Amino acid sequence: MAGGYLADHLGRRASIVTSMFSSAAVLVALSQVQRLAAIAALTMLAGLTAELYRPASGALLANLVPAGRRVTAFALYRLAINAGFAMGPAVAGFLADRSFLWLLWATLSRR
């Protein structure tokens, strides 16, 4: 609901950018805390901020793709998300096993 509200009031692209930057900030903060209460709170906030973009990206996709191709576009969108979740940790583990510097460069080059 928060993502839909942001998409309606900030705009779709601004909502996506807000989600990406706030998610990154929360994850950096999460890496620095040591108290259990702070870890729990930041973990919940990370889950919220990481998913804020979904309503905005769905609406943006619906606006950009012609009506006859939306089913295919959404199917490919979901496939890309699922492939990222399936392959991302394995690729990150492979890179981290070789060198954490490679993992850093792979993450930075994606942006």
Task: State residue 110's pLDDT score.
Answer: 62
Q: What is the pLDDT of residues 2-49, one digit of tens each?
A: 888 988 898 888 999 999 999 999 999 998 999 999 999 999 999 999
Measured CA to CA, the distance from residue 82 to residue 84 in angstroms comes to 5
In sign, the C-alpha dihedral spanning 10, 109, 93, 76 is positive
Length of the chain: 111
Query: Model-level pTM?
Result: 0.70
Q: Where are the domains of the chain?
A: 1-64, 67-111
